[in-house]
């Protein structure tokens, strides 16, 4: 008996998984590709990877929960990342996060109720000379002050 609502990967992703099935280190490569396609690793996606690679689901959850790169919840349409690497932290990264909390009422790892924004801290964006740095949907904003945040966010509403 087949469920018509059964979770399915794209044909390209299934092909990628088949190509990597017997290669060493395949699980992390496959999970990166799944996240690239779906923006996070859902329970359904993990179940499907488990079946296609013949890897226990516990092993998959062990990997995705160990590596901070993998997301277990669907991010907002616009993912806000605030750098907390050394330079950004020292130049005011935490006050940026505090101000985003004041404006959105969400903590790190959470998504606004409308699904428009999510917030996460990252360790380095690679723009230390522009500290403190935040990105919105991959667009980099440097030397950010808490007074600039509302104006930056308005561009994405």
Q: Check residue 69 and give its pLDDT.
A: 84
Average pLDDT of every residue of the chain: 92
Residues 114, 150, single domain; the answer is: yes
Confidence class of residue 7 from pLDDT cuts 50, 70 and 90? confident
For residue 120, the enclosing domain spans 78-154
Domain presence at residue 72: no
d(CA 73, CA 64): 11
Residue 17 lies in a domain: yes
Q: Tell me the average pLDDT across 100-123.
A: 94
The reply to whether 6 falls in a domain is no
CA 5/CA 27 separation, integer angstroms: 25
pLDDT (0 to 100) of residue 6? 60
Q: First-to-last CA distance in the chain?
A: 44
| Residue 15 domain flag | yes
Q: Is the pLDDT of residue 1 over 50?
A: no
Helix, coil or strand: residue 115: coil
Q: Do 58 and 108 lie in a common domain?
A: no
Higher pLDDT, 4 or 89: 89
Q: Which has more confidence, 69 or 131?
A: 131
C-alpha 138/C-alpha 136 separation (Å) is: 5
pTM value is: 0.75
């Amino acid at each position: 008996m087949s469920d018509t609502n059964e979770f399915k990967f794209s044909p390209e992703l299934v092909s990628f998984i088949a190509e990597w099935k017997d290669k060493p280190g395949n699980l992390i490569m496959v999970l990166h590709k799944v996240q690239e396609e779906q923006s996070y690793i859902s329970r359904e996606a993990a179940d499907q990877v488990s079946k296609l690679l013949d890897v226990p689901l516990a092993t998959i959850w062990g990997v995705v929960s160990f590596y901070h790169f993998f997301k277990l919840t669907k991010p907002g349409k616009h993912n806000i990342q605030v750098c907390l690497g050394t330079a950004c932290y020292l130049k005011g990264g935490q006050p940026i996060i505090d101000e985003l909390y004041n404006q959105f009422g969400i903590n790190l790892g959470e998504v606004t109720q409308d699904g428009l924004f999510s917030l996460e801290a990252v360790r380095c964006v690679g723009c230390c000379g522009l500290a403190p740095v935040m990105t919105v949907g991959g667009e980099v904003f440097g030397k950010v002050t808490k007074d600039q945040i509302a104006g930056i966010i308005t561009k994405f509403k």
